[in-house]
Structures are given as structure tokens and as C-alpha cells.
A and B are shown apart, each in its own frame.
Chain A
Amino acid sequence: MHDFAIEQMNRLLTTLAFQVHRAAKKPGPDEIHDLRVSVRRFSQGLQLFADFFPKWEVKKIRRMLKRMMRLTSSIRDRDITLEFLAESEHAAHRPRLTKERSAYQRQFAEMVRRWSAHDFSAKWRNGLSLRGV
């Protein structure tokens, strides 16, 4: 079971790291959405296989993921609303929402910069002892 958990978590972390870099390069609606999906998948893996990994490490990673989800949720809500406004031809709120989105996008860029500076995927792989299977 332990090997299975490691194999799954390795796969999920590889996808998450890919989506983080993809969204950092181009933080468009699709990229943010895909990143959120990969965060959720990885979080679910952490929760499911929590007993196989160090508690402190799991807690630390989940806290970081939660922050990422909260921030990208603000971006995602604006993307959904902007799409709705474009379809329904309401123009009034677009400038405000675009401005708000840009502000959240800057916060996102800063968060990703910090994650990358710490080489988060290598750190998490080490912390969870995912190497060697």
C-alpha cells in the first residue's frame, strides 16, 4: 500500500508542478482552472494517504495549498463573472473586475515566485519521502 501511495503522490505532484509553472507563464482562465484541479487532486491524495507521510509535512503542505486555492478562487470567480458578462452583454462591471483580476494575478505571481524560489516540488518530494519507487 505504501508503494502505491508513493506512486500516486509522485504522479500528482509532477502534474501539480507542471500546472504551477504553466499558470505562472500564462495565468489565463484555463490555466488557473487546471492549476486548481491539480491542487485539489494533490490535496485529496495527501488527505487519503496522510498516514503514510510525516504529519508535520502534510500539515505544512496542506496549509500552502489552501492559500493557493483561496487566492486562485478570487481569480476564478472573476473569470466566471467576466465570461457571464461577455455572454449577457452587460458591460458595466467589466473594467472593475478586470482591474481586480489583475491585482489578484499579481499576488498569484508573487506566490508562485516564492514557491519556485524554494523549489517547492523538490522540497515536498523530499519531505514526503516520495523518491525511490
Chain B
Amino acid sequence: MKLKPSHSAAENARVVLPKMARKYFEAGRKAIEGKRPPEELHAFRLETKRLRYTLEMFRPVYGPNLDRYLKALRELQSALGKVSDYQAIQRVLSGDDEVKKQLEHALKGKIKDLRQSWRVFDSDGQLKRWRTYLAGDHSKPRAKGPARAASKKVAVRAAS
């Protein structure tokens, strides 16, 4: 991800962030769909944090509408965090067979929840909405427009 010193923060954000979002969705599809090793899910969890923190850094450029996108990411991050917590507990208590079964059962449930969260996050047209919004010029407030309309339809689990 290359930022150009000669461009403003807004110009850089409009070029770099839509690409970052596309790569993020692709990584998520790969990591969550199908049976993947836990390390891949862990790597995707870190990607989620990276995208969230990057978007937060560019919040002055996008303004409060960005919060809808951040909210969707936070919800996904929370589902990923629960899976990660159980994986950590498994590591720490690896020698205990009694707890092992309980943990495996709990982890399966958390992975199921995560897949559900991902399906909402990556539902029809979401990637396009993300990319349209992030590529839009948000320096002037607009009554209507593709980016503004897109921002209202971000998949957030609570609203679906």
C-alpha cells in the first residue's frame, strides 16, 4: 500500500482504501468459507484490526458516515475475537482432556456464529458499497449521492 507524499490525505485515502477493502473481502472469503486451519483465521483477524485501525486514522477525511463501516467491522472483529479466545484457552489448557471436549464444542459454536456474521458482512453488494464509499469525495456534505446512499446500507448484523 503506497501513499503518495505529493497527494493530500483525502486523495491518498480515495485511492488506497478501496483497494485495501477489496483485498480484505477476498481474504475473508478465503479464511472463513470452508475448513481452514486456525492460523488462517488468526491472520484474518489481524487483517480486520489493520483495516479498522487504518480506517480510524482516516476518519478526519471521511467524517461521521464512516462510523457505519467501522461498526460493521467491529461486529465482525468481535465474532473473530471469540473464536480466538477459545483457541487461546485450548493452547493454555492443552493437557486437560476433560476441558478439551467442552472447549471443542464451544469453539464450534463460535465458528458457526462467525460464519453467520461474515455472511451478513459480505452479503450482496457490500464490497461494492464499501469501495464506492471509500473512493468517494467526502470533503463537501451532500444531500444525496451514491456514496451517501451506500453508507446507509452497510451490513450490520443488528440491523439485518
Interface of A with B (CB < 8 Å)? 1-2, 4-5, 8, 12, 40-41, 44-45, 47-49, 51-52, 76-78, 80-81, 84, 88, 90, 92-93, 97
Contact = CB atoms under 8 A, between A and B. Distances in A.
* Contact-size category for B: 20 to 34
Given A1-B7, A8-B57, A51-B3, A80 B99 contact: no
A80 B102 CA distance: 16
Given A40-B49, A77-B91, A84-B89, A49 B96 contact: no
14 contacts: A1-B7, A1-B8, A1-B9, A4-B8, A5-B3, A40-B49, A41-B53, A45-B53, A52-B5, A80-B85, A84-B89, A88-B102, A93-B96, A97-B92
Contacts of A84: 85, 89
A77 B3 contact: no
Main secondary structure of the interface of A (DSSP, over half): helix
Interface string B63-105: 0000000000000000000000100110111001011001000
Interface of B: 1-9, 12, 49-50, 53-54, 56-57, 60, 85, 88-89, 91-93, 96, 98-99, 102
B101 to A, nearest CB: 12
A81 B49 contact: no
A48 B85 contact: no
A1 B92 contact: no
A10 B49 CA distance: 20
A48 B3 contact: yes
Nearest to B98: A90
Given A1-B6, A51-B3, A81-B92, 18 more contacts: A1-B4, A1-B5, A5-B3, A44-B49, A44-B54, A45-B53, A45-B57, A48-B3, A48-B57, A51-B2, A51-B5, A52-B3, A76-B88, A77-B88, A77-B91, A81-B93, A88-B99, A93-B92
